[in-house]
Structure 1
Amino acid sequence: MKSRPRKTRPGKTRPELSRPPADSELFLATLMADVRDGSLHVATQKIDARRDIIDAHPFASYLAGLIRVAKGEEERAIAHFGRAIALSPEHAQALYGRAVALQKCGRARDALADYEASLRLDPANVEGWFNYGEALIALQRHSDACDAWTRVLALAPGHAAALGNRALALHALGRDAEAIADYDRAIALAGADKALLRNRAVSLARLARHEEALASFAQAFALDAAYLDAADGAAAALMALRRFDEAGALCDHVLSFAPDHGSALLTKGNALHELKRFEEALAVFDAALARAADDVRLATNRGMALFELGRFDEAHAAALAAIAIDASFALAWRCRGMTELRRAELDQALVSFDRALRLESADADVLCGRAIVLKELGRYDEALADFDRAIAIDPRHAEAKANKGSLLLLLGEFAEGWELFEHRWVQGDRPKAEIAYRWPEWRGEPLAGKSIVVLDEAGLGDALQFSRYAPLLAAAGARAAYHCRPSLARVMRGLGLNVEIVTAPPPDANYDCCVTICSLPRAFATRADTISGRPYLRAEPERVAHWRERLGDGGFKVGIAWHGSSHSRSDHTRAAPLSAFAPLSRIDGVRLVSLQKNFGAEQLRSAPAGMRVESLGADFDCGADAFVDTAAVIANLDLVVTIDTSIAHLAGALGQKVWIAIKHSPEWRWMLEREDTPWYDSARLFRQERRGDWDDVFSRMARELERAVHAARPAPAARSTR
C-alpha cells in the first residue's frame, strides 16, 4: 500500500522559548525578516557570520535550525537544534525540530527519542504525534504508529491524513475491516482522494470483497487516468471475479497509453491463460519479456502457458530460465515440478516441489503437486498427508480434494473417495460444486416415476465405464436419458431401448433431476463388492458381420492399442511404445490387429523388424461416430491387449476378453495388487512391477498368450484302429 506523501514540519511553540539578550534582538529581528521575505540564502549567510550569537542562546540556535530545515540542509539543522537542546534540555520545540530533521535524513530510529521527549513536554502537539507515527511506520512498528495516530485523532478528530495513515497501519496489522472504516471517514472529510480510494480497495480485496474493491479502484482510476496502481488493482479485482474478458480489455486500455506497463502485460497474459487462449497468452508473455527479460513472473507464466499447450520440453526450459532470474520465486519451481511430472521425471519433480515448498511452506498448490508426485511414486501415505495439508490451508482447494478422492478410491476406500471425487474439475475448469444445473441434482433419492438426464463429462474412457449406470436408472423406475457427446451417441445406443440417447436436450426439456456421469457411482453408493462386471454394451450386428468378413478366418486375432488421447493433459506414462508389443507378434499363429486411431498410429511406420501389425484401412471409424467400427472389430477378436485407455473400457463393456497393461502407480479405477477388476469380468490386469518397465509386463503377457493360443488350437484327431 502507498500513502500520500506527507510533509514533516515542526509545529507551533509550546511552551515559548526565552528570547536572547537585548543586544542580539536587532540581529534576530533582521534574520526573521529575511525568513518572512523568503531570503533564506541571505539568512544562512548571516547565521554563518554571527555564530557567536547563534550558539550563545537556545532560541537563536533553534531559529537557525528552522532556517536550515527550510533550505533542505538537515544535517546542519540537526547541529543547531542540538546546540539549543544542550543549552536548554527541556525545550520542546528544539527537540521536535531535531526529530523532524533526523527523520528527513532517513534516521527515523534516532528521531524517536526526540519525538518522545518533545511530546512529553508538549502533549498537545498534533503534528508532532502525526510525524512520530510516520517515524514509527518507517520502522515497521505498525501497532505503535496506530497508537500515535489515535492520539492525533483524539486531539483533532477531523484529521483526514491521520485517518488515512492509521488505516495503512491497520492494513499492515491485518485489521482490514477497521482500516476500511478509517478510509471511509477520511474520504468523507477529504473528498474523493485517489490514494485513499486505492488503499481502501486494497483492504477490500484482502477481505475478498472484490466487487466493492473493483468499484473503489475504478473510482481512483477515474480521478487520474495516469494512476496505474489503481488500474492494476481494478484488473486484479476483475481477475478475482473471474471476469477475464473485462480484465483483458482494461489491460488493453492501459497499454494503449502505457505500452511498457509490465503489470498490465502480465495481467493480460494471465487473463488469456484463464480463458484457455494459451497461444495468445504465450504471445503476450513473449512480447512482455522482450521489454523486461528479467521479470521472473513473466518468464514463469510463459512456462505455464507452454505447459498447457503440451509443449513440456519448452515449458521446462522456461521454468529453468525463470529460476535463473530468481531462484527464490516459488512458482518457478512449481512450474518446473509440473513439467517434470508430465515428463515422468518423478524424482526430479519431487526435488522441484520440495524447493518450492521451502520457499512457500503454506502454498496449497505446491503441496497438491507434491502429493501427486508422491502418489505416482507409490508413496501413498505421504501423498495423503500432503493432500490433507493442502486442504487445511485452502479448504476450497478442489484439485487437492479430487486427487485425494481418487487416491482413496485407488486404496479401496470408496465411501470417502466418492465424496471427495465430487470436487473434480469439470465444465470450464470450475469445481463441480459451483456448477448451476438446469435441473435438481440427483444424489441417490428414489426415482420411481421420475425423469432423469445423465450429463456427459470427462474423457471417453469415463463415459464408457460409467454409462453402465444408465440402465440401472431405468431399472429403478425412472425415465432415463443420457445426454452424451455426439461422437458417442451411436455406440451408446447399445445400452438398450430403456435409455434415451440425446445429444442436445431441447431448450424446453423438463426433467425431474439430473446427474453427471462420473457422479453416478457415488449416487448409487458403489462399493467394490457392489460393482457388476457383466457386459452392458453391444456392437451393431450389421457392423459385426461386416468386419467378420473383412478380418477373415484364421489365426488367433489380437487387437492392440498402445497410446491414449493426444490431449496435452493426458497421462502419457500410461502409454507404451508399439515396440513393447513385439513379443506378442513372435508367437506362432497370432495376428496383431491395430485398434489405434490418430495419435500414436504413426508408430506403425517404424515398427520393429519382423513385427507385423495389420491395419484396418482408412475407412475404420473414419466418420463422426466414435468406436462403432472398433466395437464391431473387438466382437470378432479373440483378445484385446491394450494400455489403460478407452479401448480397455470398450472391450470390457462389450464383455470381450481384454488384457490391460497397467503402470506401476495405476489410475484409481484399477485399485492395487489384484489381477482382476470388479468393473469388467472379462478383463485381466498386468501391472508394472517397476516404474516405467513395460518389457517385463509384455514378456509376462507373451507367456500367457502362448498358453492361450495353444489352448485354443483344436486337438489333433484321434487315429482310428483297424
Structure 2
Amino acid sequence: MRPSKAVRPSVRSRPASRRQRGLAGPSARGRPAPRKLRATASSHVDADACRGLESIMATTAQQLDTAVQLHRAGRLDEAREIYRQVLAREPRHADANNLMGLVARQKGEFTAAIAHLQAAIAADATQAAYVANLAEAYRGMQRLPEAIAAYEQAIRLQPGEAVPHIQLATLLEQTGQLDRAAACYHKATELDPTKPAAWAGLGMLYKHAGQLAPAGDCLRRAIQLYDAAPLHFELGNVCQMQGRLDEAIECYRRALTLQGDFAAAACNLGNALREQGQSEEAVEQLQRAVAMRPDLAAAQSNLGAALQDLGRLDEAQACFERALQSEPRRSEFLLNLGTVFKDKGLVAEALPWYERSLAAQPGYAQALCSRGTALLSLGRFAEGWAGYEHRVGCSQFNTLKFPQPRWDGSPPGERRLLVHCEQGFGDTLQFIRYVPLVRQIDPRAMVAAQTELLPLLEASGFGPLLAKEQPLPPFDVHVPLMSLPHVFGTEVETVPADVPYLHAAPDLVAKWREHLATQPGFRVGIAWQGRRAFRGDALRSMPLARFEPLARVAGVRLFSLQKGPGSEQVAEMGDRFEVIDLASGLDYSGGAFMDTAAVMKSLDLVVTSDTAIAHLAGGLGVRVWVPLSFAPDWRWMYGREDSPWYPTMRLFRQRVLGQWDEVFERMAAELATLVP
C-alpha cells in the first residue's frame, strides 16, 4: 500500500496561550489604558465620566473572560454572542475582533473570519497571534499565497517563536516549495527542539526526498516527544522502505496499540508480514484492516495478494474485484486481477488485464514485466524477453542498477564489459550457461556472481569471477545475466541446452560415491521446500509427507537433500517411511551446492520442487523430476512434460490446482518402471 500522507501532531489543536490565540482573556486592546484614561479625565473630563469609562472597561473585560471560557468549552454560539455585544459597543476592539474571527474560522465562515481578523490587526498590528490567525483563515479559503505572506509577517513580529515556522512550513509544502519548507522546519527545531510537529514534518520531507536514514532519525525524535500512532505508522513506512521489516512491524503494531482502529497501519502491517513470508498472519491483519475500512481499496487488494500467496485464488480474485469496484482504473488492481488468472493457469484471460493495466498507466513496469513472463510461459519468447527487460523497474527484483550503458551484444572493443548475476541462486544456475557465449564475443568480460556460488561456478569453468556483493572494478558497459536471452535472441528452439554445464568437484564426487555405496537400492535424492519468504512458495512447495508414494516403490531409498526450512520434517516422519538425511553433511565448508552436486552424481534420480536444486540437477545433466503446481513459474511454460532448458528433466504437473496426491502417484508409477 502506498504510505498515507503524514499525519502530524497538530499544534493548532492544542489550547493556545493568549499571545497565540487571544483565548486567555481580554487585554482591552482597542481602548486606551485605564491610567491614560485617568490622566485624560483630569485634564478634559470630569471624574464621573472617567468612572463611567472605567466601568465600561471592566464590563468588557468580564464579558470577554466569560466568552473565552465558553469558547474553550466549544460553546461557540454563546461565545460569539458575547463577542458581538462587545463589538456593538466597541467595533474596533482588537481582542474581540480576533476572538470573533477565531469563532468564524472554526465554523468555516472564512470570509467573516478574515474581516474580523483584519480589523483586529488594524487596531493592533503588533500582535503576531492575530496575523497567524489571519493566515489560518486564508488557508481555510485556499488563498495560500496570502496565508504564506501572513505567516511571514507573524514571524517578523515574533521571530523567536517556533510554531509560526512550523505552520509556514506546512503551507510551503502544500505549494511545492519543499526546500523552503525544510528550512522552516529546521529553524523550528533550533528555536524549540521540543516541538514534535517540527521533527515530524522534517522527517516526512526527508522521506519523500528518498533520504530514509535522516527521515527515520527525525521521526524517532518526534516519537520521543509525542507517542502518537500516526508517527509510529510513518516510521514503519520508512523502515519498510529500508527493508528493515522487523522494525517496521514493531512500529505498525505500536500504532495499532495506540489507535486500535488505524486501518492503514493494519494494512501496512499485513504487507510487511507478507514480505517476511508470514502470509497467514498477513491475511489476519489485512482482514482486520478491511473490517475497519471496507471502503479501503488498497486493503482489499493487499488482502487479495496475501491470499494469492497461500493459493486461495478464488478468495483472492474476489478481493481484487472488490478493490476494482472502488477504483476501476487503478493500474495495480487491474494487474493483480491478471496475476490471479495467470496463477489459475488461465494465461489467455490474464493478458487482457495486463493490457488494461497498461492502458491505465502506460509504461507501468510491473505490468510490462508480468505480460512478458506470461508470453514466455506460452513460448512466445521474442515478445516475452522484451517484456521481461522491464523487471529492472520492479521493486521485487534485486537487479543491480548502474549509470553505465547496457550492453547490446555487439563487440565492446576497448570498453570493459560486466555481466552481473541477479535474483536467486536458481536463476544464476539456470542462466550462467550464457557466459561462454558472451566470452566468445568478449573474452575479457567480467562476471559478478553471488559469493556463495563462486566455488561451484569456478569448478564448472566459468571463472574468473567476481563477488557481486563486493566493490566492483571499473567497467564501461554492463548487462544483467537474465537479460542475455534477450540479447542473443533466444527462441524455444535455440535455447543453449548442452549439458552438463555445471560440474561437481571430482574429489567430492569420489567421497560421496564411496559413502553412498554402502546404501543399496535405487537411490532417489529429494527436496520439497523452497524459501518461505518467496511469494508463491505455498504453490510450489509441498510437505515431505507427499513423497510417501515414492518410498513405497519396492527397491527405492529416499535421501534428503533438503537444507534449512523444511528439513525438520525428516524427524517428524518417524516410522511412516524412511528418509536418509544427508543434509547435515552438505555444503558447510566448500561452498553452496558443492557437496549437493557431488551427491547428485551418485544418485539414480533427483525429485525436487521448483527450487535451486532443480536447476542444479538440470545443469549437472543428471536425471531429475520436478513436480509442478497447476500454474508454475514462467520458465516451465505450459503443457509440456519436458523443458527446453534441461534435456534430462521431466516435469510432472498438477492436473487440478492444489492437488499433489495424483502427481506423486503418477511419479510413483513411473518410478516403478525404472527400478531394476
Q: Same fold (TM over 0.5)?
A: yes
Q: 1:234 to 1:651 in 2, by over 3 A?
A: same
Q: Spell out the pairing of 1:315-714 with structure 2 (5 A cutoff).
A: 315-393=282-360, 398-424=365-391, 432=399, 435-436=401-402, 440-447=405-412, 451-496=416-461, 499-503=463-467, 509-535=473-499, 536-552=501-517, 555-567=521-533, 569=535, 571-607=537-573, 611-616=577-582, 618-623=584-589, 625-709=591-675, 713=676
**SS in structure 2 of the partner of residue 563 of structure 1:** coil
Other structure's SS at 2:445 match:
strand
Aligned-residue offset at 1:692: 0.6
Q: Which moved more, 1:291-300 or 1:34-43?
A: 34-43
**For residues 368 and 192 of structure 2, what CA distance do their matches in structure 1 show?**
44
Q: Which moved more, 1:680-689 or 1:102-111?
A: 102-111
Q: Give the drift of 1:491.
A: 0.9
Q: Is the contact made by 1:180 and 1:204 (CA closer than 8 Å) also made in structure 2?
A: no
Q: Which residue of 2 aligns with 1:262?
A: 229
- How far the C-alpha of 1:264 sits from its partner, in A, is 1.8
- The alpha-carbon deviation at position 326 of structure 1 amounts to 3.3
Matches of 1:511 and 1:517, distance apart in 2: 16
Q: Aligned residue for 2:241? A: 274
1:652 to partner: Cα distance: 1.2
How many angstroms apart in 1 are the aligned matches of 2:214 and 2:106?
A: 45
2:220 is matched with: 252
CA separation of 1:591 and 1:678: change in aligned 2, threshold 3 A: same
- How far does residue 234 in structure 1 lie from its aligned partner after superposition? 2.5
1:517-555: CA deviation from partner (whole Å, max 9, x where unpaired)? 222222323332321221121222222222222222853
- The alignment partner of 2:207 has SS state of helix
Q: Corresponding residue for 1:66?
A: none
User: Is the 1:365–1:390 Cα contact (8 Å) retained in structure 2?
Assistant: yes
CA shift at 1:170, angstroms? 5.3
Show structure 2 runs of 5+ residues with no match: 1-7, 13-19, 23-48, 65-75, 88-98, 120-130
Aligned partners of 2:472, 2:564: CA distance in 1, in Å?
38
Distance 2:397 2:183 in 1: 25
CA shift in 2, pair 1:212/1:666, >3 Å: farther
Superposition TM-score, scaled by structure 1 size: 0.71
Pair 291,161 (structure 1): closer, same or farther in 2 beyond 3 Å: closer
* Paired residues of 2:154 and 2:164 also in contact (CA < 8 A): no
Go from structure 1 to structure 2 and tell me whether the alpha carbon gap of 1:109 and 1:503 turns closer, same or farther (over 3 Å shift): closer
* Structure 1 unmatched ranges of 5 or more: 8-28, 45-69, 82-99, 116-124, 132-158, 172-178, 714-722
Q: Is the 8 A contact 2:495 2:645 kept in 1?
A: yes
Normalising by structure 2, we get a TM-score of 0.75
CA RMSD, Structure 1 to Structure 2 (Å) = 4.6
Larger radius of gyration: 1
- In the other structure, the counterpart of 1:242 is 210
Are residues 1:233 and 2:198 paired? no
Distance in 1 (CA, whole Å) between partners of 2:537 and 2:294 is 29
Distance 1:456 1:160 in 2: 58
The higher-RCO structure (CA 8 Å, 6+ apart) is 2
1:34–1:40: 8 Å Cα contact kept in structure 2?
Answer: no
Q: Which amino acid aligns with 1:674?
A: R
Distance 2:451 2:224 in 1: 44
Q: Percent identity?
A: 33
Q: Residue 616 of structure 2: SS of its match in structure 1?
A: helix
- 1:314 corresponds in structure 2 to 281
Q: Give the distance between the partners of 2:647 and 2:109, measured in 1 at CA.
A: 82
Q: Which moved more, 1:275-284 or 1:189-198?
A: 189-198
Structure 1 residues 238 and 368 mapped into 2: Cα distance closer, same or farther (>3 Å)?
farther
**Contact 1:651–1:658, Cα closer than 8 Å, also in 2:** yes
Match of 1:288 in 2: 255
What are the within-5 Å matches in structure 2 for residues 203-218 of structure 1? 211=179, 213-218=181-186
Distance 1:523 1:385 in 2: 27
The aligned amino acid for 2:251 is: V
For 2:59 and 2:150, how far apart are their aligned partners in 1? 40
Which letter maps to 1:525? G
Q: Show the counterpart of 2:123.
A: none
Q: Distance in 2 between matches of 1:205 and 1:415?
A: 46
C-alpha contact (below 8 Å) 2:200/2:218 kept by paired residues: no
Q: C-alpha separation between the residues in 1 aligned to 2:494 and 2:287?
A: 49
Question: What is the distance in 2 between the residues matched to 1:503 and 1:631?
Answer: 21
Distance 2:475 2:302 in 1: 44
| Residue number in structure 2 paired with 1:138 | none
Alpha-carbon distance in structure 1 between the residues aligned to 2:281 and 2:339: 22
Mapped partners of 2:104, 2:566: distance in 1? 70
CA distance in 2, matches of 1:382, 1:516: 31
Secondary structure, aligned partner of 1:482:
strand
Aligned-partner Cα distance in 2 for 1:206–1:430: 34
Q: CA deviation at 1:662?
A: 1.3
Match of 1:310, SS state, is: coil
Displacement of 1:265 after TM fit? 1.9
